[in-house]
């Protein structure tokens, strides 16, 4: 099967990839990947390449946006992947219209996937398809063996198996109790989030021997799962501790995958023997409720209630969302270790104290804390802030990657469940220069930044020019640090001693700088209105700097 854009968009290792134009060409082949960070790159793009861009070179230039689409189509590239939430909140409509006109697939990609992740996924698949079946089998079995020896867990191993054979897989004991499952969004509704479902055997087909030397039978079973009836190919584990079941939609399983499964049963059997009490979450790579939170699709309150009821999310109380965002992790296993560390801390610190809901993804973990009607919004956010800081303190000495924590506003409406999640992500995305080494960010504390973001670029520039721009201009001409001094002074609450300490300045040096700042800004910081305007200017400057 060729590597196509349709394969990419529907790949279970990714989520929220969406074709916004050129759907008729989604089955065109991808042979390589390129990155568009300069208009001249178009000259070197090859036919059938999938091109990735953040859109930085296209900012504020509608004509360039349209011409790039035309030029890419002329090169014969497979399509353009456009990362949103970096420089554009969504793919520009002008590009969508032009892509539909010329017939170029345009893929909207979430901000939380790096270009290297996407490229690696595509090249891995291309290389896999070039490999012989024997090489593929040996490489996968080696990968599963390494997972066993490196203690990566049953959850990880089952998920790798499901991804490799491209089918949902179950692991059951001798009494058909489900021990582990790795599935896909297509079958998510049959595997509830909060508990592993009970399987009921309805029928067993006649035994079908693969060869005369086998000591156990390969059989087909029908299981009833959450009201649906499914046919599974079943392989008994070598020590009869359980069975590996593979969902079958056709008459039989491919002989190549059958061989792989036989080898996999030996490794899974060893894993069960090592940890007989292993019970894993039914969703291995990502939580499907998190998909709903990330989605930009609008849903009615009734649809949201149905989703919440299905996934066990209590939609009635007030809620604050705390999201943990990982970066600089070495690999997926590293991410999983850190996420498990956070989950354990949440369990130890909160399980008996607060009503919570937890959902995880590849790079993020979101914790909802619920509050009753007696809690006002300010108290709820303050409580969430203390909770987030306490959780960070409990894990910081064991962290092996960068962690940011975002806290949402307090929300009560059904339709704002997704908004709470987006608040928490938005809080992380704005890094204020507070002079503190704290990775916890609150949407409420950054409210001015978020309000300013809603202004036009011209209005933000005007706000900057009317407030702190003279300091920036003076620094640029004289090689001074007046703006940094003013920022630090502001976030130190106008405490000169603390400011001098943070900036490693003699107090007299600081006082001289402050006098110069007051002179340039024509203020003595005694007017609250002026001080607040200057704070907005700092926020405007930060936003302008982050967008360059």
* Residue 392: both structure tokens together: 């960070």
Model confidence band, residue 417 (pLDDT cutoffs 50, 70, 90): very high
Alpha carbon 499 to its chain centroid, in Å, reads: 37
**468 Cβ contact list (under 8 Å, min separation 6):** 483, 486, 521, 534, 537, 538, 540, 541
Does residue 371 register a pLDDT over 90? yes
Same domain, 246 and 312: no
- Judged by average pLDDT, the poorest of 276-285, 335-344, 442-451, 494-503 is 276-285
Domain end residue (candidates: 128, 153, 185): 128
Calculate the CA dihedral of residues 75, 76, 79, 81 and round it to 10 degrees.
Answer: -20
Instruction: Please state, in angstroms and rounded to a whole number, the distance separating the CA atoms of residues 269 and 145.
Output: 12
Q: What is the pLDDT of residues 356-367, one digit of tens each?
A: 998 887 678 899
Instruction: Please state, in angstroms and rounded to a whole number, the distance separating the CA atoms of residues 169 and 146.
Output: 20
Does residue 321 register a pLDDT over 90? yes
Same domain, 250 and 163: yes
- Residue 253 placed within a domain: yes
Does residue 210 register a pLDDT over 60? no
Give mean pLDDT, residues 482-487.
91
**333 Cβ contact list (under 8 Å, min separation 6):** 150, 152, 156
Give mean pLDDT, residues 403-420.
93
* pLDDT for residue 392: 92
Does residue 494 register a pLDDT over 60? yes
Tell me, what CATH number does 63's domain have? 3.40.1390.20
* Beta strands per DSSP E along 304-395: 318-327, 356-360, 364-371
Same domain, 434 and 463: no
Nearest to 269 by CA among 310, 232, 239: 239
Same domain, 267 and 387: no
Q: What is the pLDDT of residues 178-197, one digit of tens each?
A: 788 887 656 666 555 444 55
Does residue 433 register a pLDDT over 80? no
* pLDDT for residue 234: 83
Does residue 207 register a pLDDT over 50? no
* Partners of residue 31 on adjacent β-strands: none
Same domain, 312 and 432: yes
Q: Which has more confidence, 283 or 41?
A: 41
* Residue 519: both structure tokens together: 């002179």
Same domain, 84 and 209: no
Nearest to 486 by CA among 510, 506, 452, 461: 510
* Residue 461: both structure tokens together: 């520039």
Q: Is 111 within 8 Å of 82 (Cβ atoms)?
A: no
Q: In what order do the strands lie in the sheet with 440-442?
A: 356-360, 364-371, 318-327, 402-407, 440-442
Tell me, what CATH number does 269's domain have? 3.30.450
Q: What is the pLDDT of residues 96-141, one digit of tens each?
A: 999 999 999 999 998 888 888 899 999 888 887 777 777 878 888 8
Does residue 2 register a pLDDT over 70? yes
Q: Give me the percent of the chain exceeding a pLDDT of 90.
A: 27
Same domain, 432 and 292: yes
Q: Which has more confidence, 535 or 289?
A: 535
Q: How many domains does the chain have?
A: 4
- Judged by average pLDDT, the poorest of 245-254, 284-293, 306-315, 499-508 is 284-293
Same domain, 73 and 117: yes
Instruction: Please state, in angstroms and rounded to a whole number, the distance separating the CA atoms of residues 336 and 314.
Output: 26
What are the distances in angstroms from CA 504 to CA 172, 333, 509?
A: 63, 41, 10
* Partners of residue 171 on adjacent β-strands: 180, 244
Does residue 435 register a pLDDT over 50? no
- Judged by average pLDDT, the poorest of 173-182, 379-388, 414-423 is 173-182
- Judged by average pLDDT, the poorest of 190-194, 390-394, 400-404 is 190-194
Write down the number of H helices and E strands in the chain.
19, 16
Same domain, 427 and 470: no
- Residue 282 placed within a domain: no
Same domain, 358 and 423: yes
Q: Which has more confidence, 212 or 507?
A: 507
Q: What is the DSSP letter of 220?
A: E
* pLDDT for residue 175: 65
Give mean pLDDT, residues 31-54.
88
Give mean pLDDT, residues 44-62.
89
Q: Which has more confidence, 390 or 238?
A: 390
Give mean pLDDT, residues 403-407.
92
- Residue 279 placed within a domain: no
Instruction: Please state, in angstroms and rounded to a whole number, the distance separating the CA atoms of residues 14 and 46.
Output: 25
Instruction: Please state, in angstroms and rounded to a whole number, the distance separating the CA atoms of residues 486 and 471.
Output: 9
Report the phi/psi class of residue 107: left, alpha or beta, with left for phi > 0 and alpha for psi in -120 to 50.
beta
Q: What is the DSSP letter of 113?
A: S
φ and ψ of 516, to 5 deg: -65, -40
* pLDDT for residue 240: 62
Nearest to 323 by CA among 423, 446, 444, 432: 423
Q: Whole domain around residue 320: which residue ranges?
A: 288-445
- Residue 470 placed within a domain: yes
Same domain, 124 and 136: no
Taking the CA atoms of 436, 442, 448 and 450 in sequence, report the sign of the dihedral they define: positive
Same domain, 433 and 298: yes
* pLDDT for residue 271: 84
* pLDDT for residue 214: 37
- Residue 230 placed within a domain: yes
Instruction: Please state, in angstroms and rounded to a whole number, the distance separating the CA atoms of residues 270 and 239.
Output: 9
Give mean pLDDT, residues 309-330.
86
* pLDDT for residue 231: 79
Domain end residue (candidates: 400, 420, 445): 445
* pLDDT for residue 431: 57
* Residue 64: both structure tokens together: 């360039």
- Residue 175 placed within a domain: yes
* pLDDT for residue 474: 92
User: H-type helices in 198-331, by residue range?
Assistant: 255-274, 288-294, 301-311
Q: What is the pLDDT of residues 505-517, one digit of tens each?
A: 898 999 999 999 9
* pLDDT for residue 203: 40
Domain end residue (candidates: 128, 143, 165): 128
- Residue 280 placed within a domain: no
* pLDDT for residue 72: 92
* pLDDT for residue 212: 31
Does residue 218 register a pLDDT over 60? no
- Judged by average pLDDT, the poorest of 93-107, 168-182, 369-383, 481-495 is 168-182
Tell me, what CATH number does 306's domain have? 3.30.70.270
Average pLDDT over the chain reads: 82
* pLDDT for residue 381: 94
- Residue 424 placed within a domain: yes
Tell me, what CATH number does 462's domain have? 1.10.10.2840
């Amino acid at each position: 099967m060729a590597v196509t854009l349709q394969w990419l968009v529907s790949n279970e290792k990714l989520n929220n990839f969406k074709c916004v134009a050129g759907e008729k060409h989604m089955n065109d082949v991808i042979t390589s990947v390129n990155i568009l960070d300069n208009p001249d790159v178009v000259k070197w793009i090859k036919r059938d390449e999938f091109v990735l861009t953040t859109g930085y070179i296209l900012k504020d230039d509608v004509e360039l946006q349209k011409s790039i689409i035309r030029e890419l189509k002329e090169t014969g590239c497979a399509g353009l992947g456009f990362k949103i939430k970096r420089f554009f909140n969504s793919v520009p409509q002008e590009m969508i219209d032009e892509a539909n006109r010329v017939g170029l697939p345009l893929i909207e990609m979430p901000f939380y996937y790096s270009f290297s992740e996407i490229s690696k996924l595509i090249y891995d698949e291309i290389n896999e398809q070039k490999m012989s079946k024997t090489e593929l089998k040996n490489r996968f079995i080696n990968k599963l063996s390494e997972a066993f020896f490196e203690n990566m867990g049953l959850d990880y191993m089952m998920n790798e198996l499901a991804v490799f054979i491209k089918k949902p897989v179950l692991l059951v004991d001798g009494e058909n109790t489900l021990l582990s499952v790795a599935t896909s969004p297509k079958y998510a509704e049959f595997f509830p989030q909060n508990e592993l479902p009970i399987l009921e055997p309805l029928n067993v087909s006649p035994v079908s021997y693969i060869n005369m030397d086998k000591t156990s039978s390969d059989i087909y079973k029908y299981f009833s799962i959450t009201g649906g009836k499914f046919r599974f190919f079943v392989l008994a584990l070598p020590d009869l501790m359980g069975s590996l079941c593979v969902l079958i939609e056709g008459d039989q399983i491919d002989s190549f995958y059958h061989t792989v499964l036989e080898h996999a049963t030996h490794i899974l059997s060893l894993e069960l023997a090592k940890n007989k009490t292993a019970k894993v979450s039914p969703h291995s790579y990502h939580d499907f409720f998190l998909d709903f939170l990330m989605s930009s699709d609008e849903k009615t309150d009734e649809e949201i209630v149905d989703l919440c009821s299905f996934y066990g999310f209590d939609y009635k109380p007030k809620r604050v969302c705390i999201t943990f965002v990982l970066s600089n992790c070495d690999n997926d296993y590293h991410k999983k270790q850190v996420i498990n560390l956070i989950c354990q801390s949440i369990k130890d610190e909160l399980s008996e104290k607060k009503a919570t809901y937890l959902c995880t993804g590849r790079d993020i973990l979101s914790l909802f804390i619920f509050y009753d009607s007696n809690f006002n919004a300010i108290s709820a956010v303050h409580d969430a802030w203390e909770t987030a800081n306490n959780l960070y303190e409990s894990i910081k000495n064991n962290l092996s990657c960068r962690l940011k924590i975002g806290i949402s506003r307090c929300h009560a409406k059904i339709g704002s469940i997704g908004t709470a999640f987006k608040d928490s992500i938005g809080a992380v995305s704005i890094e204020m220069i507070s002079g503190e080494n704290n990775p916890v960010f609150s949407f409420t504390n950054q409210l001015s930044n978020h309000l300013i973001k809603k202004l036009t670029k011209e209005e933000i520039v005007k706000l900057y020019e009317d407030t702190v721009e003279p300091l920036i201009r003076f620094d640029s001409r004289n090689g001074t640090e007046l703006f940094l001094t003013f920022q630090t002074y502001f976030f130190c609450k106008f405490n000169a001693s603390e400011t001098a300490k943070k900036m490693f300045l003699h107090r007299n040096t600081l006082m001289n700088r402050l006098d110069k700042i007051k002179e340039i800004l024509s203020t003595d910081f005694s007017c609250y209105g002026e001080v607040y305007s200057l704070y907005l200017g700092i926020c405007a400057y930060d936003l302008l700097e982050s967008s360059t």
